[in-house]
Chains A and B, each alone.
Chain A
Amino acid sequence: MTKSRDEHNPGRRKFLKGVGIAGAGAAIADHLRVETEAQEKQGATATLSGNVKITLDVNGAARDVQVEPRTTLLNALRNHLEPAVTGPKLVCDAGTCGACTVLLDGKPAYSCLVLAVDAVNRKITTVEGLGSPESPNAVQAAFVEHDALMCGFCTPGFVTTISAYLEKNPNPSLDEVREACKGNFCRCGTYPRVFEAALAAAKSTAG
């Protein structure tokens, strides 16, 4: 398989998904040195191809998965984990909309801009890890209460972003909430209620 792929040479070209994250290459190669099957066959080079076996820490569970090195964390969660984790949504695949937001070690990140192999040894929290329909966190509960969603496709991203922000700033102003979710797009037009929900969630956890 590796040989055949090399003939068409997509392996190296597609090793990294985009130019903007090329700098991450060396670090990824480092921590994969012990983990990749491909590595053993190819010797100690930075070029990885074929499938690599990695373990991701998703919502507190160790999840084994095999992915091509170029696979984004988002696609690994959605297309490769079994069962799938589909809370984070694929909307733009270009780091512009925020629908795929997850927490990496507690900090929001666009999972479409992170390679799965670069998320190894990091704590990945998706919207599913923040609460459940039966036991929502304060932000999730406030989103329902204030109707901060319509079609709901942007909602996991907003909920994740705001949940992380309130950890950092438990008592934000309206302008701070706007600033916090400027990296998330909604098309149905729920922004005013997203703001209300965020402020209400902050209030509910403050007391």
Chain B
Amino acid sequence: MQQPQAQRSPSPKPKKKIRVPRVVNGVEQMVEIEVDADAGPGWGPNDKHTLLNHRYTRVDGPLKVAGMARYTYDQRLPGMLYARILRCPHAHARVTSMDTDAASKIPGVKAIIPAPLSELRFAGAPVAAVAATTPEIAGDAVRAIKVNYEVLPHVVHAAAAIRPDAPKVLAEEDNLKEAAKNGDPQKAEAAFATADAIVEGEYISQRVHHACLETHGMVVDYRGGDTATLYASTQGTFTIAGDAAKELGLTETAVTVSVEHMGGGFGSKFGLGLEGLLACRLSKQTSTPVKLMFTRYDEFVMAGNRSGSWQKLKAGVKKDGTIVALNARQYRLGGLGPGSQAGQPYIYRMGDTYREIYALHTNEDSSIAMRAPGHPQASFAVESLMDELAYKIKMDPVEFRKKNLRDEVYHRQLERAAQEIGWARRNPIAGGNAGPLKRGMGCAVGVWGGGGNNQCKVDVTISRDGSVVVAVGTQDLGTGTRTYTRAIVAEELGLTVKDVKERIGNSKLGAANPSGGSTTAASLSPSVKDAAIKARVMMAERVAPLLGNPKPEEVVFSGGNVSANGKSLSWKQATASLPAAGMTSHGEWRADLQSRGIHGACFAEVEVDVETGHVKPIKMVHIQDGGLPLNRLTMESQINGGMIQSLGMALWEGRVMDAHLGMMLNPGFGDYKLPGSLEMPELVPLIDDDDKREAVIGIAEGCIIPAVGALVNAVFNACGVRVRELPVTPDKILMGLSKGTQITQI
């Protein structure tokens, strides 16, 4: 058919370039992309929503509370085998021989395969994997495999690994590797001469574990045919199929990945992983579905951890509170990996600054991304330093922070949270309160990006019976993704959350980004909104003849009705006009519906028993901005979660490594102390509604950053002991009280 050229080709839309985050293995990197300059209708003012920015309950809540939500760990397929992993007991070794004869003769054992590592560089490295008819029998087989090791020298503590004669951890790299140098050391040194006071300290943060309650793992459903389905506990539905297909000898499109519900990730679950690789190989070899879920021990020794840090900081300050110079030497303690740590002076202005950052390797499994990779570590150190500087010049810590923070948002957040916790009650003299139970308060601030990227493709389908389905392959980690995905569509169409159903967690649905760097909300919700707006316009056009032919923007979708020109249709009457196949709109990401750059401030009050060294958290307040809150109820839950996980890092948690054996001494919940119900302080999550940005921003990571510093500073204010090494355990406090000195060990 002939068509006039001029009418067919759309006029090119004006474009603009923006920088957005792209997440690789949970860590965000900035890239430049091109987007439409003129994008369409926005969210409107934050106080004009009917569902968003309100409190509405989680749509998967009813299933989860009844035990009916199906997680990867709950998958059980016909004839499915259970896999277990044999792990190396040495921190550094080579396998010289392996005898699987006895193991393979155990009834029920179906396959034993070697792990693809030649040199084992941490205790717990996988040596072999077994598939058997029950997990108990797989465990028998693991114990029956006889392995001879050539044991090699190892080092697991940073202070030992940095010595010139230390055993070499990696073949291709020295234990100490310079990562970055910034600033002019001479200028910083000269600026110190102008300071009225100088504080110098070494701050050490421990290796903290994600401790996801659902361990890492997958169920690989391959039965020898042309296709396979993987059920994975993952933060990235679309990060698995490619590598799985290679292992299974299939095309990528033949592999489907399903993530219906998942039991926590916190940055640790991306990609196929070694566990997925082993599961694929076992399934391939047996042509049988294989379930490989890590045991809790596996999870502790191989599922990753938060990079440790060792930071030597020196700062100079003037009497008026102006910081004039900083010299920072930062070691990232990432085990075999590079580790992560934000550069100092983090978010403060500190005059002339100079920093060196190094990776310092040990024979431990690599650290991986964990909720705000590198940030709580940097924040803990600089917030401790800030506190020490404030005390040195006898300035209120809140005023001192405001003095050295340019961004006004922090000023208002510090004031609001100070009021909430009752900062005026605080005794400015550290340890100055009477009696053995001494209370104190501390504060800190944090920053995060939380912007999105153009990775999500969303379909909204409206059927003739009135049902509405929003579909996209994204995953819900417990962050409420399912719930706001529904709500955005429901609000746009004037329906309730119950009127819309969502389909997520499947790689055959529309593409979605991996959930890292708090990028999901800002990547997904603009695409959902775009699809919802298009669905609304399509519906408006469809029903126009029934409503006196209004323009699409004149049709009102509200309260389950579609109306214009004084005429009104119920939703069902409106959708009855659709064709038999219903109608589907496709949503793409829009940069203008999201933003990046968030602020948070945390205040903590603790009580220290100076006779036992016991720290009891009393109250915590965290205020967080984040543009348009998609759901106030779940946002508050995430802020609570950030504070609680920080409590663990500040006071209780930490991997303990034995120098001689080179192994972790506390790989279980009996010895690795997670925050529990008895330790919970009063928690106050505040949403900063003074943030008027009409844009979605991810907040999950922002709200874990400042609390550790706030807690450590509260301990100092309470008892006068500055503990510079996490966690702040009673022994360190008692040592500090007895010596009256700062506690640092490494």
Query: Are these two chains actual partners, yes or no?
Result: yes
Contact: B62 with A133, CB < 8 Å? yes
| Shortest Cβ gap from B618 to chain A (Å) | 14
Please report which residues of chain B, range 16-71, place their CB below 8 angstroms from some CB of chain A when the two chains form the complex.
57-58, 60-71
Knowing A133-B66, A140-B66, A151-B263, say if A178 contacts B102 (CB, 8 Å): no
Within 8 A of A (CB), among B633-689: 633-634, 636-638, 640-645, 668-670, 674-678, 680, 682-683
The answer, yes or no, to whether B583 is at the interface (CB within 8 Å) is: no
B79 part of interface (Cβ distance < 8 Å): no
- A27 to B76 alpha-carbon distance, docked (Å): 31
Chain B residues near A184 (CB-CB < 8 A): 677
- Give every chain B residue within 8 A of A127 (Cβ-Cβ): 65-67
Contact A10 B106 (CB under 8 A): yes
Point out the residues of chain B lying under 8 angstroms from A75, CB to CB.
Answer: 134-136
> Which of chain B's residues have a CB closer than 8 A to the CB of A7?
105
In the bound complex, CA of A82 to CA of B574 (Å): 45
Number of interface residues of B (CB under 8 A): 67
* CB pair B71 A153 closer than 8 Å: yes
The answer to whether residues A92 and B296 also contact, given A153-B264, A178-B680 and a CB cut-off of 8 A, is: yes
Candidates B65, B212, B215; contact of A159 at CB < 8 Å: B65
**A191 touching B68 in the complex, CB below 8 Å, given contacts A133-B62, A145-B57, A151-B262:** no
On whether the beta carbons of A187 and B211 are closer than 8 Å, the reply is yes
Residue of B whose beta carbon sits closest to that of A7: B105
Q: Are A155 and B134 in contact (CB under 8 A)?
A: no
**B479 located at the interface, meaning its Cβ lies under 8 Å from any Cβ of chain A in the complex:** yes
- The answer, yes or no, to whether B74 is at the interface (CB within 8 Å) is yes
Residues of A with C-beta under 8 A to B296: 91-94
Show the binding face of B for A, using Cβ within 8 Å: 57-58, 60-71, 73-74, 76, 82, 102, 105-107, 134-136, 140, 144, 210-215, 261-264, 266, 293, 295-296, 477-480, 633-634, 636-638, 640-645, 668-670, 674-678, 680, 682-683
Complex: chain A residue closest to B647, CB-CB: A189
Q: Which residues of A contact B106 (CB under 8 A)?
A: 4-5, 8, 10
State which of A86, A128, A185, A193 has its C-beta within 8 Å of the C-beta of B674. A185
Encode A160-202 as 1/0 by CB contact (under 8 A) with B. Answer: 0000000000000000011101101111111111110000000
A87 touches B66 (CB 8 A): yes
Query: Is A79's CB within 8 Å of the partner chain B?
Result: yes
Q: How far is the CB of A74 from chain B (nearest CB, A)?
A: 11
Q: Whole-angstrom distance between the alpha carbons of A26 and B638 in the complex?
A: 48
List of B residues within 8 angstroms of A193 by Cβ: 637, 640
Determine the residue in chain B with the shortest Cβ distance to A151: B478
Residues of chain A with a CB closer than 8 A to B144's CB: 8
Bound together, the chains give a CA A141 to CA B669 distance in angstroms of 29
Contact partners of B134 in chain A: CB under 8 A: 68, 71, 75, 79
Complex alpha-carbon distance, A131 and B67, angstroms: 9
Q: Is the CB–CB distance between B76 and A178 below 8 Å?
A: no
Decide: A136 and B66 in contact? CB cutoff 8 A: yes
* A42 located at the interface, meaning its Cβ lies under 8 Å from any Cβ of chain B in the complex: no
The 6 lowest CB-CB distance pairs between A and B, nearest first, are A87-B67, A151-B478, A189-B641, A153-B263, A189-B644, A152-B64
Closest Cβ neighbor of A129 among chain B residues: B67
A93 to B211, CA, bound (A): 14
Chain B residues, Cβ within 8 Å of A97? 213, 669
Q: Across the interface, which residues of B come within 8 angstroms of A149, CB to CB?
A: 58, 61, 64-65, 478
Taken residue by residue from 109 to 137, chain A's Cβ proximity to chain B (1 for < 8 Å, 0 otherwise) reads as 00000000000000000111011111010
Beyond known contacts A87-B67, A133-B65, A147-B636: 14 more, CB 8 A cutoff: A8-B102, A8-B105, A8-B140, A8-B144, A68-B136, A88-B67, A91-B296, A141-B65, A144-B57, A147-B633, A153-B263, A156-B65, A188-B637, A189-B644
A152 touches B70 (CB 8 A): no
Contact B66 A96 (CB under 8 A): no
Answer whether residue A62 sits at the interface, using C-beta atoms and an 8 A cutoff. no
A192 near B683: Cβ-Cβ < 8 Å: yes
Decide: B677 and A191 in contact? CB cutoff 8 A.
yes
Instruction: Using CB atoms, name the residue of chain B closest to A4.
Output: B107
Is B136's CB under 8 angstroms from A71's CB?
yes
The number of residues on chain A lying at the interface, defined by a beta carbon within 8 Å of a beta carbon of chain B, is: 68
Asked if A21 lies at the interface with its beta carbon under 8 angstroms from chain B, I say no
Q: Which residues of B contact A140 (CB under 8 A)?
A: 62, 65-66
Asked whether A53 is an interface residue with its Cβ less than 8 Å from the other chain, the reply is: no
Q: What residues of B have a CB within 8 angstroms of the CB of A152 in the complex?
A: 60, 64-65, 69, 261, 263, 478
Separation of A96 and B295 alpha carbons in the complex (Å): 14
* Cα(A79)–Cα(B680), bound, Å: 35
B57 proximity list for chain A (CB < 8 A): 144-145, 147
Closest to A153 in B: B263
A199–B640 Cα gap in the complex (Å)? 18
Find chain A residues with CB under 8 A from B264 CB: 151, 153, 187-188
Chain A residue numbers with a CB within 8 Å of B682 are 192
With both chains docked as a complex, state the minimum distance between the C-beta of A18 and any C-beta of chain B, in angstroms.
12
- B295, B296, B637: residue with the most chain A Cβ atoms closer than 10 Å: B637
Q: Interface centre among A131, A134, A186, by most B CB within 10 Å?
A: A186
A92 touches B668 (CB 8 A): yes
- Taking CB atoms, residues of chain A closer than 8 Å to B480 are 150
> Of B61, B636, B668, which contacts A144 at CB under 8 A?
B61
Residues in chain B near residue A33, CB distance under 8 A: none
Distance from A87 Cβ to chain B, minimum over Cβ atoms (Å): 2
Q: Is the CB of A192 within 8 A of B640?
A: yes
A-B contact pairs, 11 of them (CB 8 A): A1-B107, A87-B67, A89-B73, A92-B669, A128-B66, A136-B62, A143-B61, A147-B58, A151-B214, A184-B677, A188-B264
- Chain A residues contacting B478 (CB-CB under 8 Å) are 149-152, 188
Interface residue from A4, A132, A151 paired with B68 (Cβ < 8 Å): A132
Taking a contact as CB atoms under 8 Å apart, the answer to whether A147 and B67 are in contact is no
Contact residues in B for A93 (Cβ distance below 8 Å): 295-296
Cβ–Cβ < 8 Å partners of A126 in chain B: 67
Give the distance to chain B from A131, nearest Cβ to Cβ, in Å: 6
Taken together as a complex, chains A and B put the C-alpha atoms of A128 and B65 apart, in Å, by 9
CA distance in complex: A10, B105 (Å): 12
Distance between Cα atoms of A83 and B67 in the complex (Å): 14
Query: What residue in chain A is nearest B477 (Cβ atoms)?
Result: A151
- Complex contact B676–A182 (CB within 8 A): yes
Q: Could you say which residues of chain A place their CB within 8 Å of the CB of B674? A: 185, 187
Q: How far is the CA of A90 from the CA of B296 in the complex (A)?
A: 9
A10 to B69, CA, bound (A): 35
Indicate if the CB atoms of B105 and A4 lie closer than 8 Å: yes
Query: Bound state CA distance, A81 and B718, in angstroms?
Result: 55
Cβ 8 A contact of A143, one of B65, B135, B266, B642? B65
B165 CB → nearest A CB, Å:
40
Which chain A residues border B668 with CB–CB below 8 Å?
Answer: 92, 94, 96
| Most chain A CB inside 10 Å of its own CB: which residue of B65, B144, B634 | B65
In angstroms, Cα B683 to Cα A88, docked, is 28
Q: Is the CB of A194 within 8 A of B637?
A: no
Taking the closest CB of chain B, its distance from the CB of A52, in whole angstroms, is 13
Q: Of B65, B213, B634, B642, which one neighbours A153 at CB under 8 angstroms?
A: B213
Q: How far is the CA of A87 from the CA of B212 in the complex (A)?
A: 17
Q: B65 — nearest CB in chain A belongs to which residue?
A: A140
Per the bound structure, the CA–CA distance linking A7 and B103 in Å amounts to 12
Residue A44 interfacial (CB < 8 Å) = no
Contact A96 B669 (CB under 8 A): yes
Complex contacts, A91 vs chain B, CB 8 Å: 213-215, 296
**Considering the chains assembled together, what is the distance between the CA atoms of A79 and B291 in angstroms?**
11
Contact status of A89 and B213, CB under 8 A, knowing A68-B134, A132-B68, A156-B67: yes
Asked if A78 and B58 make an inter-chain contact with CB atoms under 8 angstroms apart, the answer reads no
Q: Which residue of the partner chain A has the closest CB to B261?
A: A152
